[in-house]
């Protein structure tokens, strides 16, 4: 019995020694531990230095109202981002149906949801976006004058902060010239726009000064919303030889109502943009809103990729406006269109 017990003890000691040797072989030396730690750190550094190509972006789009010009700007903007980011960019696109208060609600929601960038399409949308956040990049498009829209005195061309964008302002002095060029016998000119749109006020004042400098009598007519467009247009037509409508989003959404009054009255209308002119005008100095949107989209790509700081980005303009005319309405009103004008497509 004692011999068996001694043998068991010797076997246990032998197994313990073997196990200790095995563990010693598997345990790294301090130098090996340091090397392993360095390799892990280097791998982490390499991962951090390599940007993810699958970063996803969410862009909030607030469009004031649905009409041809603003729709085209939104489409151009989205097309550029989709070309650049593909399925890695998504859009929260909302339309305020002409309601400035709804723009505020929409943009406040974008800010609360932490979108990566906000597009404000038209002045009230930009104003709402600007008031909703000072951190998220905000781009405007279809904005006539940023200084007016954002109450910036002596606007230098760069907003600064978290705001920039593109302007749809066509040369207003040339628009005034078109009125006398197309309706040379006109003595009385009515300017028609929505009083709620600050940029329309700016355009109206500029064109009024240019026309009065030509010796014409100018009267301004404003409507507060779409409900009184027809009645105000009727008053303007009864007292004037020709009307001018600036780039005005409310008017652009009511061209049928305006045309139903002006055309039977035989009063031609010169417009600030092509969508308006297509619906109720004889001519316009036109910009391409789709291309304007694409320019805005290119600005957004630079911001999202970190290639440009929005605070340093000046507002960009459409540089090649084109004289265009509405062949159908010109024909009905007997307007002779001089050379240098391009017919508006009905497509």
Asked whether residue 288 carries a pLDDT value surpassing 70, the answer given is yes
Residues, the chain, total? Answer: 347
Give the model confidence (pLDDT) of 131-183 as tens digits: 999 999 999 999 999 999 999 999 999 999 999 999 999 999 999 999 999 99
Mean pLDDT, rounded, of the chain? 87
**Which of 44-53, 115-124, 317-326 comes out lowest in average pLDDT?**
44-53
Query: 286: pLDDT confidence band, cut at 50, 70 and 90?
Result: confident
Provide the CATH number for the domain formed by 57-168+288-314 in this structure. 3.40.50.2300
- E strands, the chain, are 57-63, 89-95, 117-121, 138-143, 163-167, 188-194, 217-223, 242-245, 269-271, 283-286, 316-317, 322-325, 342-343
Query: 54: pLDDT confidence band, cut at 50, 70 and 90?
Result: confident
The pLDDT assigned to 165 comes to: 98
Closest CA to 180 of 265, 242, 264: 242
Asked whether residue 4 carries a pLDDT value surpassing 50, the answer given is no
* CATH topology match: 57-168+288-314 vs 172-286+322-343: yes
Asked whether residue 20 carries a pLDDT value surpassing 80, the answer given is no
- Report domain 172-286+322-343's class: alpha beta
The pLDDT assigned to 152 comes to: 95
The pLDDT assigned to 268 comes to: 98
Asked whether residue 21 carries a pLDDT value surpassing 70, the answer given is no
CA 222 to chain centroid? 26
Closest CA to 312 of 161, 167, 166: 161
Q: Read off the pLDDT of each residue in 249-275 and give the average, rounded to a whole number.
A: 96
What ranges do the domains of the chain cover?
Answer: 57-168+288-314, 172-286+322-343
Task: Determine what percent of the chain is predicted with pLDDT higher than 90.
Answer: 80
């Amino acid at each position: 019995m004692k011999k068996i017990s001694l043998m068991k003890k010797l076997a246990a000691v032998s197994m313990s020694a073997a196990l200790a040797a095995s563990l010693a072989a598997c345990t790294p030396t301090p130098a090996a531990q340091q090397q392993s730690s360095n390799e892990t750190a280097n791998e982490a550094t390499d991962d951090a230095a390599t940007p993810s190509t699958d970063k996803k972006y969410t862009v909030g789009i607030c469009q004031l109202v649905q009409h041809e010009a603003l729709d085209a700007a939104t489409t151009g903007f989205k097309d550029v981002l989709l070309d650049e980011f593909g399925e890695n960019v998504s859009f929260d696109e909302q339309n305020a149906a002409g309601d400035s208060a709804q723009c505020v609600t929409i943009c406040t929601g974008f800010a609360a949801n932490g979108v990566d960038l906000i597009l404000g399409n038209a002045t009230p949308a930009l104003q709402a976006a600007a008031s909703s956040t000072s951190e998220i990049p905000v781009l405007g498009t279809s904005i006539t004058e940023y200084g007016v829209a954002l109450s910036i005195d002596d606007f230098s061309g760069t907003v600064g902060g978290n705001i920039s964008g593109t302007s749809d302002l066509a040369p207003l002095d040339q628009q005034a010239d078109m009125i006398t060029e197309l309706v040379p016998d006109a003595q009385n000119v009515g300017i028609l726009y929505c009083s709620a749109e600050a940029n329309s006020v700016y355009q109206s004042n500029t064109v009024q000064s240019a026309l009065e400098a030509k010796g014409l009598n100018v009267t301004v007519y404003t409507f507060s919303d779409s409900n009184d467009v027809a009645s105000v247009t009727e008053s303007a037509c009864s007292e004037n030889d020709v009307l001018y409508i600036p780039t005005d989003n409310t008017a652009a959404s009511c061209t049928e109502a305006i045309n139903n009054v002006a055309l039977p009255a035989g009063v031609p209308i010169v417009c600030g943009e092509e969508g308006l002119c297509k619906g109720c005008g004889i001519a316009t100095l036109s910009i391409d809103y789709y291309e304007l949107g694409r320019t805005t989209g290119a600005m957004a790509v630079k911001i999202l990729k970190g290639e440009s700081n929005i605070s340093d980005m000046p507002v960009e303009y459409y540089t090649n406006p084109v004289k265009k005319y509405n062949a159908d309405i010109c024909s009905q009103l007997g307007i002779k269109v001089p050379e240098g004008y391009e017919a508006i497509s009905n497509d």
